[in-house]
Amino acid sequence: MSSTHSTVTVTVPATTANLGPGFDCFGAALTLYNHFKFSAIALNPSTPDQKTLQIFVKGLEADRVIADETNLVYKAFAKFYAHLGQSPPPVEIEIELGIPLARGLGSSATAIAGGLMGANHLAGKPLTLLQLVDLAIDMEKHPDNVVPALLGGCRLAASIPEELASDRPGWEICDVPWHSEIIPVVAIPDFELSTETARQVLPTHYTRADAIYNTAHLGLLLRGLATNNGQWLRVAMSDRLHQPYRKGLIPGYDVVHAAALNAGAYGLTISGAGPTLLALSSPGQSADVATAMVEAWQKAGIQSQAQSVQIDQRGSVSVEAKSPLKQPANFSTPG
């Protein structure tokens, strides 16, 4: 069969979410990536029992990824077509993982973003990027990871008030300036923490004082990131909504926090739901901060890896190519 069809490869950045006082609304894309390749499968009407879904996974912890209809990439792919009122077409998905799983770096957000972007391309791009953002938030249930995964940069998301929703329901997305001299340093331990577990420790109600505290510190963080004001960043990274409750789920948190500050970091926060910890540093101190975090965790009996990264400004990037239609695994061309 000599037909051709577009194959699309989608590259999606890791994310760090919550960012101190920015719980469930504030996140940034980082220069670590997962890659997803989508290729339509050609079916032969005369051949029964052909596979309509093939998933291949390689890279970090590839053996842990489920390769069937419950795979999150495919669930996002299918959700896109359900939104259009269509059945998903037969597809082969190749996944290359460069972001560790269940570490607070947005691996699930990359799967959702990749699945939606891939589906949109194979369908001829009927939806805009902002429409994909709304679908992604609907799947993830909060915007702080999926928004920067799709759009890149540092992003603040606010739900549109009910009285304005008739004009455009959904979310208002704001890009947040991040000064180039503020370096994110991620320290990734060798243990996992599920988002569900991290949410279960949170209280259902907060005091007015805590709400005011976080509002003030988030405002200060926005200004500190834009201006590279180290003193503002040191104060702004404090939080009362999630970190005081979640840090108990991360062995060694206090010693790593102290080590990062002693090495010159402006501040430290739990990345996403954890257990990865993210420090903000000047360029000259970032290597020392990374080393200090690894050594502090090692003294607590925990192995980790740390590295300086950058803010990814591109978000999800797709590259299309014309290629022969994929044949299903049990399809043979008549000779």
> Which residues define the annotated binding site?
100-110
The set of residues, in sequence order, having a beta carbon less than 8 Å from that of 278 and lying 6+ positions away, is 16, 19, 184, 185, 186, 187, 268, 269, 270, 271
The DSSP 8-state label assigned to residue 297 in this structure reads H
Q: Are 135 and 83 in contact (CB under 8 A)?
A: yes
Give all strands (DSSP E) within the chain, no chain letters. 4-17, 26-40, 53-59, 91-97, 154-159, 171-175, 183-189, 267-270, 277-281, 304-308, 317-324
What the block records as the tokens of 187 is: 């320290």
Q: Tokens 């404090």 sit at which residue?
A: 238
Q: Are 155 and 28 in contact (CB under 8 A)?
A: yes
Residues belonging to the binding site for ATP are 100-110
Three-state secondary-structure class, residue 133: helix
Whole-number Å distance between alpha carbons of 331 and 227: 59
Q: What radius of gyration do the chain's Cα atoms show? A: 21
Helices then strands, counting H and E runs in the chain, come out as 10, 11
Whole-number Å distance between alpha carbons of 161 and 137: 16
- Distance from CA of residue 185 to its chain's centroid? 16
Bridge partner list, 232? none
